[in-house]
Amino acid sequence: MSTLQNDLYLRALLREPTERTPIWMMRQAGRYLPEYREVRKQAGDFMALCKNAELACEVTLQPLRRFPLDAAILFSDILTIPDAMGLGLYFEAGEGPKFERPVRDLAAISKLGVPDPEQELGYVMNAVRTIRRELNGKVPLIGFSGSPWTLATYMVEGGSTKNFSQVKKLMFAEPQAMHMLLDKLAQSVTSYLNAQIAAGAQAVMIFDTWGGVLSPRDYREFSLRYMQQIVQGLTREADGRRVPVTLFTKNGGAWLPEMAATGADALGVDWTTDMGTARALVQDKVALQGNMDPSMLYASPARIEEEVATILASYGHGTGHVFNLGHGIHPEVDPEHAGAFIEAVHKLSPAYHR
């Protein structure tokens, strides 16, 4: 494998010194880019795009051609695992993902198998290998998965939800069934991420999009516990380098100290928690990623730069900060504004690393 020309992102995740703060954006490959929309049209539909290694590679590389980003993230979806479990994933225009066969009881859950990442999910590994080859050491490649709790919410609800009634009903009325589902998902995510690492991912991230809808006690029991199980089962070295793992619970600011105790290298922070507060909470035990509100990219470039300055000052001097949005970039954002955001981080962050 080629040596990395830019390893700022990996160094920051391991809290090693860097010349500036590295930056990438959640959903940096996506609908805000006209070139992405072209390829998506060519693919026919979203899952067809995910399953075509060449096209998935193309859209992964698109933002890197446009912007001086410090990492590429695999183009895929968090629902690949439930899809591989045979739940019949499909996408309704304007409504997001849906499952033909949601699982809502012990009988349905006990029938689920743990997918083989090189078989049922082989298309993801093909994409990882293709992207890693095409990146040719330019920047590191991030692999990812949804968290067990987040995947379970989609599997039990049958799609997106506003009130989480089905999944919480299962969790409170049949906790044993819920734990069986989460355990199968934790095993699936562990083998899936390890296969991505074996295929060439140089860092991995676990997205716990819906952990923030739980009470503190339920978060520990039904979300954090299973993410910790995954962290403990991950391959932590490849190509002679450490493979850092980042956990991200949206609206999880209150639980950062407990997340820091899982053994993860880094934690994602959304915009509802101040970066300085987050840093004090984790006591520099882990790196932090974040945390500009994605909607700030609708503002003028001058206002965006002001916000970048505020976040950098809030985190303060020293390493261990990866600049990012607090969640995915919105589809309607002008790419020029994304460019202004990245430029501001390049311009203002070196002062914090002297």
Return the active site residues: 27, 31, 40, 77, 154
Q: How far is CA 251 from CA 152, 163, 210, 248, in A?
A: 18, 16, 8, 9
Ramachandran region of residue 246, left (φ > 0), alpha (ψ -120 to 50) or beta?
beta
With residues binned 3-state (H G I as helix, E B as strand, rest as coil), the percentages for the chain, rounded to 5, are 50, 15, 35
Pairing mode, if any, of strands 287-292 and 321-325? Answer: parallel
**Annotated binding residue at 209?**
yes
Contacts of 184 (CB under 8 A, 6+ apart): 109, 112, 113, 114
**Annotated binding residue at 31?**
yes
Nearest-angstrom CA–CA distance, 140 and 70? 7
**Annotated binding residue at 154?**
yes
**Annotated binding residue at 352?**
no
**Annotated binding residue at 27?**
yes
Nearest-angstrom CA–CA distance, 196 and 74? 10
Helix axes 165-173, 175-199, angle to 10 degrees: 120
**Annotated binding residue at 123?**
no
DSSP state for residue 221 in the 8-state scheme: I
Q: Which one, of 71, 95, 212, 88, lies nearest residue 144 by Cα? A: 71
**Residue numbers belonging to the annotated binding site:** 27-31, 77, 154, 209, 327
**Residue numbers belonging to the annotated binding site for substrate:** 27-31, 77, 154, 209, 327
